[in-house]
Chains A and B, each alone.
Chain A
Amino acid sequence: MILTALASGSQHGYGIITDVQEISGGLLRLRPGTLYTALDRLRTDELIEADREEIVDGRLRRYYRLTPAGASRLGAEAARLQAHASAALTRLDLAGGTAT
């Protein structure tokens, strides 16, 4: 979900939290502790990287962006989910046309 939030461009921590909430239709609200643990792991795995920093109202704001490896991982995961969804819809359709 964090990779998806970064797919359209770089975002700062609070921006990612609000974006993830929007993408999930309000179902998922990341807490800062959870977010930064995940960001640290994604940075360690070289899927995201720091883009730039700025100071807003005297506080540090760091922007993150996808690395090529992160974009590739997100693309592969999206394709996998899409294939899974297509298979489910096709089977439901065959079973009685309930999916249309």
Chain B
Amino acid sequence: MTDQARLERGYRRLLACYPRAFRRDSGPEILAVLMAAAPPGRRRPGLAEAADLIGSGLRMRLRPGVPQSARTVRAAVRLMYAGAALPTAYLIIVLAYLGVHGMQAVRWPHRASLTAAQVSEHKAVIIMVVTVTLLIMTALWLWMARANGRGRNWARILSTVLFGLTTLNLTSVFGPPGFRIGVGGPGASGIFSVLMWLVGLAALWLLWRPASSAYFRPPGFTEAGHSAQPSSRT
């Protein structure tokens, strides 16, 4: 294998950090620029080049990718990414709380009828359930952010349904004591739930604004004054 071929293979591997659709559209072009910019005799990508490609690729994967003309959708997508950070932050708080206070921090419906040994037995299960639940919440926020950013109308509808479930969850947080499993005082999960509900409400309000609706119309839909179209990148 020649030095050029080895270098090109190294660049191709790094370009895998970019979203697939972007690679399909611009990969050969970036590769041409990388090869043209490489000093003679280089056999593999430099450290700074590799860091630049990895960082840029990851940034592109996380960026909303919504045109400036669709400001309301862009803001909604940003809020959804902020929403995704909430369950993760809460998970860290929960795990730290459990570390300090142990299973005494756990609240659940039949807590009073369990012995200390029984509570201890359930420790791993409870930690797993709480962790998986919060990770699923994070994944849902990220999924909805990406899908809405791509202008998928089903995502806007599904986001609305999920917000309905969040609202139901909120009512249970402030429901009768001992109604649900929780960690820490009722205040901690209450603040978390209210914050998540508020972020969801703001994102949903933005998604259903008339200015956003143009972005969610199917390709080919034409209407005077309608310019915002989903990005083709994703």
Listed in ascending order, the chain A residues whose CB lies under 8 Å from chain B are 12-14, 17, 31-37, 40-41, 44-46, 56, 59-62
B5 to chain A, nearest CB (A): 13
| Interface pair A17/B37, CB less than 8 Å apart | yes
Write out, one digit per residue, whether chain B residues 63-103 have a CB within 8 A of any chain A CB (1) or not (0).
10111110000000000000000000000000000000000
Q: Which stretch in B23-31, B121-129, B211-219 binds the other chain?
A: B23-31
Kindly identify which residue among B36, B56, B68 contacts A33, using a CB–CB cutoff of 8 Å. Answer: B56
Listed in ascending order, the chain B residues whose CB lies under 8 Å from chain A are 22, 26, 28-37, 48-49, 52-57, 59-60, 63, 65-69, 231, 233
Interface SS majority for chain A? helix
Complex CA gap A41/B67 in Å reads: 8
| Interface pair B52/A32, CB less than 8 Å apart | yes
A-B contact sample (20 more), CB < 8 A, given A32-B37, A36-B56: A14-B33, A17-B33, A17-B37, A31-B49, A32-B34, A33-B30, A33-B55, A33-B57, A35-B33, A40-B60, A41-B63, A44-B66, A44-B68, A44-B231, A44-B233, A45-B69, A59-B35, A61-B29, A61-B32, A62-B29
Given A14-B37, A44-B231, CB of A36 within 8 Å of CB of B67: no
Given A36-B26, A36-B30, A40-B233, CB of A46 within 8 Å of CB of B56: no
Complex CA gap A46/B228 in Å reads: 10
Complex CA gap A41/B53 in Å reads: 16
- Chain B residues positioned under 8 Å from A36 (CB to CB): 26, 29-30, 33, 56
Complex CA gap A62/B28 in Å reads: 10
Complex CA gap A45/B68 in Å reads: 5
B83 to chain A, nearest CB (A): 22
| Interface pair B26/A40, CB less than 8 Å apart | yes
Closest to B35 in A: A59
| Interface pair B59/A32, CB less than 8 Å apart | no
- Chain A residues positioned under 8 Å from B52 (CB to CB): 31-34
Given A33-B57, A36-B26, CB of A13 within 8 Å of CB of B33: yes
| Interface pair B36/A46, CB less than 8 Å apart | no
Given A31-B48, A33-B55, CB of A60 within 8 Å of CB of B29: yes
| Interface pair A32/B53, CB less than 8 Å apart | yes
| Interface pair B65/A59, CB less than 8 Å apart | no
| Interface pair A59/B67, CB less than 8 Å apart | no
B67 to chain A, nearest CB (A): 5
Complex CA gap A39/B35 in Å reads: 18
